[in-house]
Structure 1
Amino acid sequence: MDLSGNRFKDFPETLCQIHSLKILLIESNQLTEIPCQLSQLHKLKELRFKSNPLKDNRLKKLMEQDKIKPVLEYLAKQWTEQHKSSASTTAKPAQSKQQQQKAKQNVEIQDKIEILHFDQVGDLKGRQITLLPRVISVRPHILCCILRNVDLATPGNLKKFLNLQNELHDDICQKRTLATIGTHDLSLISGDLVYDARNPDDIGLVPLGKGPKLVSARDFYDQLCRDAEHERKLKKRNQLSGLHKYLTLLEDQNEFPCLSDQDRYVISLPPLTNAERSKLSPTSDSIFVEITSGHSMDICRRVMDAFLRQVLENQLGKKANEEEKTFRQVLTLQQTRVVDDKGQLKTTFPSRTDLDWNEVSQGKIFIERLTNEK
């Protein structure tokens, strides 16, 4: 949306409600403030408001320097501080009956996120991913998480889950060219994992939905390229379709990225495919999620954030029990760690700075971080 070169004195507040907004240009107006609520539009990738008489000199300077990412981070920090301030206010005006009824409804549809510590004892211990040096020059960024007690058994829920993943691939992942989402049945993955890059002739896997035959990553990639070229010719296009643009990411690469479990089974070949071995089914209740990117860790975090929001909005968490009847659903997240080949910690997700949001759709979210006790 381009609103530049007008005479806006007040920011159009309705823009803060357009959750599909990706680019907003509102330069050369007469705005004195930019609302921090814009930071909650999680699909927003570009925001420009140069040549406005802003009161906030820090924000104005960041924009004039074309620092788009720091601008969004600065607005997000303001948003967090505002909510902390409002939460600490003890004096509240008397509520009307209508307000009380609305507040009661909000409580009734509240969602809960439980976060289990990585070192949780027993069977709930988190998984560790070792990042090997060879993959750094190919596709270096990986962020993982475990979703426990997911409801895929209810008819239609597995389809919802797969559809939301496909929609995110088309949208925020830009046809897999920015990032790729892999989801796996945790019970079918053995132990900790290794993220590496290897010669595609030496990588063997059964691609998702391609039958029982083991193929090399090279043969699978070549077949995808042939399919893409056939489609291009059928549609008489000069370039590959958006569906196959991600194939160019591995063009002329001598090594392909791959994610393997403790038994050396390849479960993911990003950005091409997951393996049939760890395929989700209606009986899957614990899901291993991996987001990989060749661009930045920030993109991985944005995609993971959007993915978890969609899981909640589609109500795929377990239904709350009688003791937690104020909650609509409970989604349990298990921390994972990414370390380098020397065991040095690279990333933990979710960390204490992640999931800094309190609303999904019409519901509220309550986040509980559990200790590492049994």
Structure 2
Amino acid sequence: MVQVTPLGRKEIKAKDLLRQLQLEAEEQRKQKKRQNVSGLHNLDVGNNQLRELPAALADCPRLKEANFKGNQLKDKRLEKMVNSCQMKAILEYLRAGGRGKGKAESGREEARKKKREKQQRKDGVDGEQDELEEASKLLVKVLHVSENPAPLVVKASPGVKDVRAFIVCCVLKGVNLKPGNALKRFLSAQSLDVGNNQLRELPAALADCPRLKEANFKGNQLKDKRLEKMVNSCQMKAILEYLRAGGRGKGKAESGREEARKKKREKQQRKDGVDGEQDELEEASKLLVKVLHVSENPAPLVVKASPGVKDVRAFIVCCVLKGVNLKPGNALKRFLSAQTKLHEDICEKRTAATIATHDLQLIKGPLLYDVQPPEELKVTPLGRKEIKAKDLLRQLQLEAEEQRKQKKRQNVSGLHKYLQLLDGKDNYPCLVDAEGVVISFPPITNSEKTKIRKETRDLFLEVTSDTSLQICKDVMDTLILKIAELNRVTLENKEDSGSDNESDTLSGPGNLNPSQNVQPLVVEQVRVVDTDGNLKVLYPSKTDLTTVSSLLTVIR
């Protein structure tokens, strides 16, 4: 039998030395493994034959998710926690020593506990007792679903999986927003949901929350029925304006606070050189449009788009605008001049989009947005006789050459500027009414048949583009704003009804009804569908007219 005396050790048999070295190596591997485990974030040891969980897991501060299910643990209390996925409770239980542990395991746990306490004192961290005392000051009580007689339930549809799959909700009761500026601080967020509560009125302080963009007040039985109607139709901006103006159904104390807030705002506005709130409300009341939805319209106008327009001039947006007053003085002249300026500016000289305006009473629907060969397309241009599109373009080109010779310059005016927009096209776009009459030939001209006159009250508006649908919508938004502004100018000036040659001078007060000052223009939604009836565009939709929302109040 060979005996050796290793360095730093006593004399020992070689066989026993090897066994001892193996045991020490195994212990080193275990220690190293334990150290590596401490950095775990996720752990899955489910469906194994584990009888107990190692206490070393309690020293894994980064461990957030773990699966221990499917193991036959000796500790039934621990197994119950595992089956109910109480991750935090499992770690606390292991940290406290659990049950069914041997003395050696309990000793190691005690050593770990002392080590943690020593480290906390070294780093200046408050002890566990201080943490518990601090926690006692911020208490929340959990009411379990089984104890709640009327729990709120949220159903998730399968469609959210591919969009925004995860949602977590809860109900928090007992919040006190009355003291001081508690409500204002609470509403520094951009959204608020107090739907389906027992609110009888909305606090006027909401009007002083500039960041509030989205709010849900539905499901409350508000005393103010006008306000409740705004809530149900999701008119967020109108709600805040209404509360800012004082609303209805306010008590004396609430009215007093509102009056104080109003004076404070007016003082700040004078200091900053900003117009008073009353002026803003008056301005908003003059620029009003009301949207009439397709579902509320007994005879909505529909535009069918043929497949051929895709390769020629693919995009079209239409709507009906009612309540326009073009009769007094220069109203019609200003209207046509504004349209020309829009063609030069936002339409980029008709290269981005083209506007066409028609007298609604002279249109017979449904309409067809189509393409036709130049030699077949017949149109009656404004101020001209019926002519084929091919001949019209040739005639306009000759007129353009004559203009250049007479004025001795390259620039031309009128329709002649847009002839090159149809270069290389085998087919030309057109809008055709139910009688087969071409009422629009974009981007060149409208038809004399639907020409707007001083007596016109209701308009059919169309915007077409070969660039994008969004450009059409942006141009339409701007066109409606411009018409609303012109209508306001007409009503403010109170011009007398002029003749067709339209004098530039303003007359004295006319016979306009004063109620006209607050009557909003009505925008009727128009659907553009394909030949099978499938919806392509609806204007104005909920997202339209937002680009001009700072200047135009939209009642939806």
- TM-score tier, shorter chain, comes to 0.5 to 0.7
Q: Does 1:147 align with 2:326?
A: no
8 Å contact from structure 1 (residues 152, 285) kept in 2 = yes
8 Å contact from structure 2 (residues 396, 415) kept in 1 = no
Counterpart selection for 1:274 from 437, 441, 446:
446
Amino acid at match of 2:553: F
Q: Does 1:134 align with 2:292?
A: no
- What is the CA distance between 1:135 and its match in structure 2? 1.4
Query: In structure 1, what is the equivalent of residue 345 of structure 2?
Result: 171
Q: TM-score when scaled to structure 2?
A: 0.46
Q: Does 1:358 align with 2:532?
A: no
Name the SS of the counterpart of 2:280 in structure 1.
Answer: helix
8 Å contact from structure 1 (residues 267, 274) kept in 2 = yes
Query: In structure 1, what is the equivalent of residue 396 of structure 2?
Result: 224
Query: In structure 2, what is the equivalent of residue 196 of structure 1?
Result: 370
Amino acid at match of 1:354: D
Amino acid at match of 1:368: I
Residues 155 and 322 of structure 1: is their aligned pair in 2 closer, same or farther, counting only changes over 3 Å? closer
Aligned equivalents of 2:550 and 2:521: distance in 1? 14
Name the SS of the counterpart of 1:315 in structure 2.
Answer: helix
Residues 127 and 316 of structure 1: is their aligned pair in 2 closer, same or farther, counting only changes over 3 Å? farther
**Gaps in structure 2 of 5+ consecutive residues:** 1-189, 191-209, 215-235, 245-256, 493-511
8 Å contact from structure 1 (residues 201, 216) kept in 2 = yes
Residues 316 and 277 of structure 1: is their aligned pair in 2 closer, same or farther, counting only changes over 3 Å? farther
Query: In structure 1, what is the equivalent of residue 293 of structure 2?
Result: 117
Amino acid at match of 2:528: V
Residues 157 and 242 of structure 1: is their aligned pair in 2 closer, same or farther, counting only changes over 3 Å? closer
8 Å contact from structure 1 (residues 207, 275) kept in 2 = yes
Percent same amino acid among aligned pairs? Answer: 38
Residues 242 and 278 of structure 1: is their aligned pair in 2 closer, same or farther, counting only changes over 3 Å? closer
Aligned equivalents of 1:144 and 1:262: distance in 2? 16
Q: Does 1:367 align with 2:554?
A: yes
Name the SS of the counterpart of 1:136 in structure 2.
Answer: helix
8 Å contact from structure 2 (residues 369, 431) kept in 1 = yes
Alignment of 1:177-192 (within 5 A): 177-192=351-366
- Specify which structure has the higher proportion of strand: 1
Amino acid at match of 1:267: I
**Gaps in structure 1 of 5+ consecutive residues:** 1-76, 370-374
Amino acid at match of 2:534: Q
Amino acid at match of 2:523: L
- What is the CA distance between 1:84 and its match in structure 2? 1.5
Aligned equivalents of 2:292 and 2:304: distance in 1? 20
Query: In structure 2, what is the equivalent of residue 343 of structure 1?
Result: 533
- What is the CA distance between 1:229 and its match in structure 2? 3.0
- What is the CA distance between 1:324 and its match in structure 2? 6.9
Question: Which has the greater radius of gyration?
Answer: 2
Query: In structure 1, what is the equivalent of residue 128 of structure 2?
Result: none
Q: 1:250-293, CA deviations, whole angstroms, 9 ceiling, x for partnerless residues?
A: 11222110001111110000011000000001111110000011
Amino acid at match of 1:345: L
Q: 1:114-140, CA deviations, whole angstroms, 9 ceiling, x for partnerless residues?
A: 100123344xx3211111011110111
- What is the CA distance between 1:234 and its match in structure 2? 4.8
Aligned equivalents of 2:322 and 2:441: distance in 1? 23
Aligned equivalents of 1:288 and 1:344: distance in 2? 22
Residues 261 and 316 of structure 1: is their aligned pair in 2 closer, same or farther, counting only changes over 3 Å? farther
Aligned equivalents of 1:156 and 1:146: distance in 2? 23
Residues 322 and 284 of structure 1: is their aligned pair in 2 closer, same or farther, counting only changes over 3 Å? closer
Alignment of 1:13-32 (within 5 A): none
Calculate the aligned-residue CA RMSD, in Å.
3.2
- What is the CA distance between 1:232 and its match in structure 2? 3.9
Aligned residues: 281
8 Å contact from structure 1 (residues 149, 317) kept in 2 = no
8 Å contact from structure 1 (residues 315, 329) kept in 2 = no
8 Å contact from structure 2 (residues 328, 490) kept in 1 = no
Query: In structure 2, what is the equivalent of residue 58 of structure 1?
Result: none
Name the SS of the counterpart of 1:200 in structure 2.
Answer: coil
Residues 288 and 318 of structure 1: is their aligned pair in 2 closer, same or farther, counting only changes over 3 Å? farther
Name the SS of the counterpart of 2:369 in structure 1.
Answer: strand
Name the SS of the counterpart of 1:139 in structure 2.
Answer: coil
Name the SS of the counterpart of 1:147 in structure 2.
Answer: strand
Query: In structure 2, what is the equivalent of residue 102 of structure 1?
Result: 276
Q: Does 1:162 align with 2:353?
A: no
8 Å contact from structure 2 (residues 302, 367) kept in 1 = yes
- What is the CA distance between 1:368 and its match in structure 2? 1.6
Residues 317 and 345 of structure 1: is their aligned pair in 2 closer, same or farther, counting only changes over 3 Å? farther
Aligned equivalents of 2:416 and 2:211: distance in 1? 43
8 Å contact from structure 1 (residues 157, 316) kept in 2 = no
Name the SS of the counterpart of 1:287 in structure 2.
Answer: strand
Aligned equivalents of 1:308 and 1:314: distance in 2? 10
- Specify which structure has the higher proportion of helix: 2
Alignment of 1:278-357 (within 5 A): 278-315=450-487, 328-356=518-546, 357=548
8 Å contact from structure 2 (residues 415, 444) kept in 1 = no
Aligned equivalents of 2:415 and 2:386: distance in 1? 24
Name the SS of the counterpart of 1:106 in structure 2.
Answer: helix
8 Å contact from structure 1 (residues 189, 278) kept in 2 = yes
- What is the CA distance between 1:323 and its match in structure 2? 10
Amino acid at match of 1:116: L
Aligned equivalents of 1:195 and 1:220: distance in 2? 20
Residues 84 and 138 of structure 1: is their aligned pair in 2 closer, same or farther, counting only changes over 3 Å? same
Query: In structure 2, what is the equivalent of residue 255 of structure 1?
Result: 427
8 Å contact from structure 2 (residues 415, 445) kept in 1 = no
8 Å contact from structure 1 (residues 267, 278) kept in 2 = yes
8 Å contact from structure 1 (residues 175, 242) kept in 2 = no
8 Å contact from structure 2 (residues 320, 460) kept in 1 = yes
Residues 154 and 83 of structure 1: is their aligned pair in 2 closer, same or farther, counting only changes over 3 Å? farther
Q: TM-score when scaled to structure 1?
A: 0.67
8 Å contact from structure 2 (residues 323, 458) kept in 1 = yes
